[in-house]
Every structure is written in C-alpha cells, then in structure tokens.
C-alpha cells in the first residue's frame, strides 16, 4: 500500500501520510448503519440500524441510532446513543448490498408484539372494571370518609 497520497482540499493540494491519517466518516439522518454492540465477555453482535437524530449538546454531542435486534422468534427496535463517552458500541456505514433481515418477517413479528400488548391492555381494563364493580362496596366506607374530609375547592 502506498504510504503517501495527494488530495485536493478547497483547491489546495496536500500530500497526506496515510500511516498517520485519520478517516472521518460523514453521517446524516436517515443513513443506514451497522451497530456493533459488545455483549458479555468477548462476544459482539452486529445489528442493522438507522441514524434518527443528532443531539448537538455543547458538552457531549451525540448520535441517536434506532437498530433492529431480531432473532428467530422475536424482534425489538432498540435505541442507542453514541458519543465520546460511549463504550462497547461502534457504528459503520451499512453495505448497500447487504440484506440483513427479511422485511416481511420483521413486520409480522412487530404485529405480533402489538397484538399481544393490545390483549394485555384489554385484560387490564377488564380487571379494573371487575374491581370497580365487585369491590366498590368493600371500600365504600373509605370513599365516603374521603369525600367528607376533602376540603372544599
């Protein structure tokens, strides 16, 4: 590999020593990225992600990335915030030829999560209604007492 390369910046030609050059990536909101997250021990996992925001804090500018953590039976959309203090997380541009997941499969898994949580919500609403209708008499004394002791507004 060649150690020196000539680059032109703003009309000025510069000779760069590639052994000491630092590569700077340019990202914008909506860019597809790969997120490398350190798990336990020396294990790492790579996930597809997209840059959703830049937080331009004065002391700690940050990049917000939404990434897909999927397996055979479940998928989760997770958020990671990357800044100079972040450890055990790296990003790089995603390859345009990479197909990291089956889109329809992920949508199906997300629909299943929505359906499950809708059922849980319906169950919680039914339990609340049952409690109000069947246990109200047990608490009537306390309800009446609070109404009498409550200050007038």
Question: What is the enclosing helix (H) or strand (E) of 128?
Answer: helix 103-149
Distance of CA 133 to the CA centre of its chain: 41
Q: Report which secondary-structure segment, H or E, holds 37.
A: strand 32-38
Model confidence pLDDT, tens digit, residues 46-67: 888 899 999 999 888 999 999 9
Q: 12-38: per-residue pLDDT in tens?
A: 777 777 777 776 678 889 888 999 998
d(CA 68, CA 113): 14
Full-model pTM = 0.60
For the chain, domain boundaries:
25-98, 102-153
Q: Which of 39, 29, 37 is nearest to 91 (CA)?
A: 37
Q: Over range 113-129, report the average pLDDT.
A: 94
């Amino acid at each position: 590999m060649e150690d020196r390369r000539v680059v032109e910046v703003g009309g000025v030609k510069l000779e760069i020593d590639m052994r000491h050059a630092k590569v700077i990536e340019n990202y914008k909101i909506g860019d597809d990225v790969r997120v490398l997250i350190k798990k336990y021990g020396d294990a790492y996992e790579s996930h597809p992600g997209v840059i959703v925001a830049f937080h331009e804090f004065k002391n700690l500018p940050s990049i917000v990335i939404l990434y897909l953590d999927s397996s055979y039976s479940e998928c989760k959309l997770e958020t990671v915030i990357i800044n100079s203090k972040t450890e055990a997380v790296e990003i790089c541009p995603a390859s345009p030829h990479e197909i990291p997941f089956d889109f329809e499969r992920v949508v199906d898994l997300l629909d299943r999560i929505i359906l499950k949580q809708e059922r849980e919500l319906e169950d919680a609403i039914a339990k609340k209604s049952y409690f109000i209708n069947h246990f109200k008499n047990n608490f009537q004394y306390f309800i009446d007492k609070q109404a009498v002791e409550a200050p007038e507004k």
